[in-house]
Amino acid sequence: MKVREHPERHRSPEAGRHVAVIGAGAVGSATAIEALRAGLRVTVIEPGEPGAEHATSYGNAGWLSSHSVVPPALPGAWRKVPGWLADPLGPLAVRWRHLPRAAPWLLRYLLSGSTEARVQRTADALRTLLVDAPQLHQHLAREAGVPQLIEHRGLLHVYRSQAEFMGDALGWRVRERTGVRWVQWEAAQLRAHEPDLDERYTLGIFVAEAGHCRDPGAYVAALARHAVQQGAQRVVARATGFRIEGGRLRGVRTDHGEIACDAAAICAGAHSAGLARAAGSPVPLESERGYHVMVGAPGVGPRTPMMAADGKLIAHWMDGGLRAAGQVEIGGLDAAPDWRRADILYRHLRSMFPALPRDAQAAGVRHWLGHRPSMPDGLPCIGPAAATPDVVLAFGHGHVGLGGSARTGRLAAQLLAGQTPETPLAPFDPQRFGRRRAAA
């Protein structure tokens, strides 16, 4: 797929329309920038500091992985459910207290990946959002004055054996059908490229088309700042609902009063469910809680951003040090962190790179927890709300929020501007779960 360059600023059918973008994360900031490009008047509503430590983008693993099109649930995943419940520190764990609330989401999650055909449909749709993600982010980063934060050096998956790689064969087969290409590094080549990597890894799969971000928090902060510099107004408030009259949006309600506007985009990540419900589109949004660890200056680590198949762990250098992230905990938005999971991440990281200090405290390891906004079928919600087309939903990207944010911002802005979206949105329709109602 050929990369589409950013068009020059042009007048849209709704030029001059006042739109409120709810959320200043990766998706919200990209949406604001693209809406301004379309000639819309933009107000960004965000209670916190964009890109700061509370934000999901802050702790992102940083992958701009155009090949991350395979949903987490694959055929046979239901067999793993007892393990998810029994092991609170496993790669995917479900907290018992949250199980009653999460059960419907988990059932849909398992069903969505129950056959290879369903997995392929998800992959084909996700590929349209991700295929040129590194290039789109390079354009945005240059516009925002931080081109150094986006690199396009490929990504590496490492395996202990050919047999372990074959355990992922379905995923790679699905990726290949979407157009993803890769090269295989045998043990000697892998060792030459990654001399610090533990010798148990004997096979590497290198995806040259992918990229990464050196500091997701700083990048999103720069995008939010750029939107303001381009003319967006920033309102420090928390959106709580909408005023919809006669099927048209009249304003966004916040904890600091109402903001009159003609249209709005819900880009509030894991906090979007209540707003979507207020716009007539209740959706099964869940938080996939993710942890990361950061090691300041360890002196050893990957030369190429990589993922280890045995630990489900992503490791690569950020501007602030070596970051390891991954794994999933289903426990809701409010439960306290279980920092044992971060300790496990560091143990996995040290097993990958044995020269790292044995003691995490001595190594100065820092911990973090964030919330991936995830839909059970692995696809985000991008499209108009049921109550009014004036409200656009743009959230629920799960593990590909940063990578998919650039294209999603363009699509959301096109909907706000009354333009035809450049990518078919049927797979991302917020109404695909079959529940519709009028907004109160």
Taking the C-alpha atoms of residue 288 and residue 398, their distance in angstroms, rounded to an integer, is: 7
User: Is 347 domain-assigned?
Assistant: no
Sheet holding 233-235, edge to edge: 233-235, 41-45, 18-22, 263-266, 391-395, 381-384
User: Is 254 domain-assigned?
Assistant: yes
Residues whose CB falls within 8 Å of the CB of residue 414, separated by 6 or more in sequence, listed in order: 34, 38, 420, 421, 422
User: Is 222 domain-assigned?
Assistant: yes
- Match 């938005």 to its residue by tokens: 333
Taking the C-alpha atoms of residue 399 and residue 69, their distance in angstroms, rounded to an integer, is: 10
User: Is 18 domain-assigned?
Assistant: yes
The whole-model pTM stands at 0.94
Q: Where are the beta strands (DSSP E) in 255-296?
A: 257-260, 263-266, 286-295
Taking the C-alpha atoms of residue 98 and residue 91, their distance in angstroms, rounded to an integer, is: 17
Q: Are 330 and 270 in contact (CB under 8 A)?
A: no
Cα separations (Å) of 308 from 83, 159, 312, 377, 432? 20, 6, 6, 24, 34
pLDDT tens digits for range 265-318? 999 999 999 999 999 999 999 999 999 999 998 889 999 999 999 988 999 999
Read off φ and ψ for residue 182, nearest 5 degrees.
Answer: -150, 170
Residuewise pLDDT in 10s, the chain (440 residues): 343 444 444 456 666 899 999 999 999 999 999 999 999 999 999 999 999 999 998 999 999 999 999 998 899 888 888 887 788 778 888 898 999 999 999 999 999 999 999 999 999 999 999 999 999 999 999 999 999 999 999 999 999 999 999 999 999 999 999 999 999 999 999 999 999 999 999 999 999 999 999 999 999 999 999 999 999 999 999 999 999 999 999 999 999 999 999 999 999 999 999 999 999 999 999 999 999 999 998 889 999 999 999 988 999 999 999 999 988 899 999 999 999 999 999 999 999 999 999 888 777 899 999 999 999 999 999 999 999 999 999 999 999 999 999 999 999 999 999 999 999 999 999 999 875 544 43
∠ CA 37-40-41, rounded to 5°: 120
Can you say how many angstroms the Cα of residue 247 is from the centroid of all Cα atoms in its chain?
A: 31
User: Is 142 domain-assigned?
Assistant: yes
pLDDT for 3 equals 39
Q: Is 407 helix (H, G, I), strand (E, B) or coil?
A: helix
Read off φ and ψ for residue 260, nearest 5 degrees.
Answer: -70, 135
User: Is 361 domain-assigned?
Assistant: no
∠ CA 326-327-330, rounded to 5°: 130
∠ CA 186-187-190, rounded to 5°: 85
Taking the C-alpha atoms of residue 24 and residue 20, their distance in angstroms, rounded to an integer, is: 11
Question: In terms of residues, how long is the chain?
Answer: 440
pLDDT for 13 equals 66
Helices (H) and strands (E) in the chain, counts: 12, 21
pLDDT for 11 equals 54
User: Is 205 domain-assigned?
Assistant: no
In DSSP terms, 308 is beta-bridged to: 158, 313
pLDDT tens digits for range 74-97? 998 888 888 877 887 788 888 989
Taking the C-alpha atoms of residue 335 and residue 95, their distance in angstroms, rounded to an integer, is: 9
Taking the C-alpha atoms of residue 303 and residue 195, their distance in angstroms, rounded to an integer, is: 8
Read off φ and ψ for residue 58, nearest 5 degrees.
Answer: -60, -45
Query: Terminus-to-terminus CA distance in the chain, angstroms?
Result: 43
pLDDT for 436 equals 53
pLDDT for 12 equals 63
Tell me the residue range of the domain where 146 lies. 12-70+121-150+211-284+377-440
How many domains in the chain?
1
Q: In sequence order, which ranges of 38-161 are alpha helices (DSSP H)?
A: 81-86, 99-112, 116-130, 133-143
pLDDT for 9 equals 44
What CATH number does the domain containing 395 carry? 3.50.50.60
**Residue of 34, 76, 75, 29 lying closest to 55 (CA atoms):** 29
User: Is 234 domain-assigned?
Assistant: yes
pLDDT for 80 equals 81
Taking the C-alpha atoms of residue 201 and residue 167, their distance in angstroms, rounded to an integer, is: 15
In DSSP terms, 345 is beta-bridged to: none
**Residue of 60, 74, 67, 162 lying closest to 112 (CA atoms):** 74
Taking the C-alpha atoms of residue 180 and residue 209, their distance in angstroms, rounded to an integer, is: 8
pLDDT tens digits for range 328-339? 899 999 999 999
pLDDT for 115 equals 96
